[in-house]
Amino acid sequence: MAAVLQRVLMLVLCLELAVGSLRFEDRFQPNWAPDHVMYDGDLIELRLDNSSGCGFASKSKYLFGSVSVQIKLVEGDSAGTVTAFYMSSVGEGHDELDFEFLGNVSGEPYIVQTNIYVNGTGNREQRHYLWFDPTKDFHSYSILWNRHQILFMADNVPIRAFRKQQDTMLQLPFPDSKPMWVYGSVWNADDWATQGGRVKTNWSDAPFVSQFRGFEIDACEVGGMPADQRSDDGATERGRCADAETGFWWDTPAKATLSPHQVRQLKWVSRRYKIYDYCRDAARFVVKPVEC
């Protein structure tokens, strides 16, 4: 009996090790400056210097579900740099869901900018500080996307919810038909990223390194084409992914809206850490965006 139990435990351990050892190249590939993308197993380092930024993309595209990654951001003086984790379709009129981490001078906090593009139009930025230092350790960032809402979360705490409006007469924008790839990148944006572009990148501190690990994709895969192919086939898969009767967990009624606990969390984040909301920017939008 003891020998059988030992074999079972060894089998469980082997299965756990197999799951934990998922390699970067199993699901992703460098899509920009591959010589700046370093990876070993599940750990990826993206490097920015004065010659180039870099990035990676998933090998498959997805329509609805959840994507998550743990990121440790550039330490020290990161002014001018942007580390991004996002989903995007391709081509004219693309949809996109963005996490952008805006670097800052030493001692000043990172700013997390989220944005949503629908049919090629963005300008839906929100900005937050975080309640932890994202450069000292890895933290989880995730996007939940279904037919009803989009949630941006940090360490499983919602920092932004974007709801699909039910008033079809107004035709309010919501991304619900275009499969998206998953991307990560680091790049120089010192013309706008830090204090409106007033603080420039200090290249003497290069290379600037952001680390990614712990990718989780629990989403409906459409096709399986490499991310550098720009075709838009897979109508059958899109239909399956968008079908309300498929039984995917993200299509359950519980995921159609925030739970009471998530509502409290979002209010806490908004009250204490939100520093910008496009819906309240009267100087930028003379006419308030329809979804606001």
123: CATH: 2.60.120.200
Residue 8: its pLDDT value, please? 35
pLDDT in tens, 146-171: 999 999 999 999 999 999 987 666 67
**Within a domain: 42:** yes
Is the separation of the CB atoms in 65 and 217 below 8 Å? Answer: yes
Residue 156: CB atoms within 10 A of its CB come to: 11
Is the separation of the CB atoms in 219 and 88 below 8 Å? Answer: no
Residue 240: its pLDDT value, please? 83
pLDDT in tens, 228-286: 443 445 567 777 898 767 789 999 999 999 999 999 999 999 999 999 999 999 999 99
Residue 8: CB atoms within 10 A of its CB come to: 10
Higher model confidence: residue 76 or residue 291?
76
**Within a domain: 35:** yes
pLDDT in tens, 85-105: 999 999 889 999 999 999 999
Provide the residue range defining the domain that includes 111.
24-280
Is the separation of the CB atoms in 195 and 87 below 8 Å? Answer: no
**Within a domain: 63:** yes
d(CA 276, CA 109): 15
100 is catalytic: yes
**Within a domain: 206:** yes
Is the separation of the CB atoms in 274 and 280 below 8 Å? Answer: no
Name beta bridge partners: 216. Answer: 68
pLDDT in tens, 11-55: 333 333 333 445 799 999 999 999 999 999 889 999 999 999 999
pLDDT reading at 10 higher than 80: no
Position 161, amino acid: A
Position 219, amino acid: A
Burial (Cβ within 10 Å: 0-12, 13-18, ≥19) of residue 119: middle
Catalytic hit among 96, 237, 245, 291: 96
pLDDT reading at 4 higher than 60: no
Count the domains in the chain.
1
Q: Tell me the pLDDT band of 172, cut-offs 50, 70 and 90.
A: confident
pLDDT in tens, 188-235: 999 999 999 999 999 999 999 999 999 999 999 997 544 444 344 556
Q: CA 167 → CA 25, 170, 290, 291, distances in Å?
A: 43, 6, 11, 10
Name beta bridge partners: 96. Answer: 88, 117
pLDDT reading at 182 higher than 80: yes
**Within a domain: 5:** no
d(CA 118, CA 176): 9
Catalytic hit among 45, 100, 221, 237: 100
**Within a domain: 16:** no
d(CA 35, CA 9): 41
Residue 245: its pLDDT value, please? 72
Q: Tell me the pLDDT band of 59, cut-offs 50, 70 and 90.
A: very high
Is residue 73 helix, strand or coil?
A: coil
d(CA 220, CA 238): 9
| Residue of 50, 36, 54 lying closest to 80 (CA atoms) | 50
**Within a domain: 121:** yes
Is the separation of the CB atoms in 224 and 59 below 8 Å? Answer: yes
pLDDT in tens, 66-85: 999 999 999 999 999 999 99
Residue that is written with structure tokens 């600037």 in the block? 208
Residue 168: its pLDDT value, please? 61
For the segment 136-140, the average pLDDT, to the nearest whole number, is: 98
Residue 87: its pLDDT value, please? 98
**Within a domain: 288:** no
CA 75 from chain centre, in angstroms, equals 20
d(CA 288, CA 133): 34
pTM of the predicted model, to two decimals? 0.88
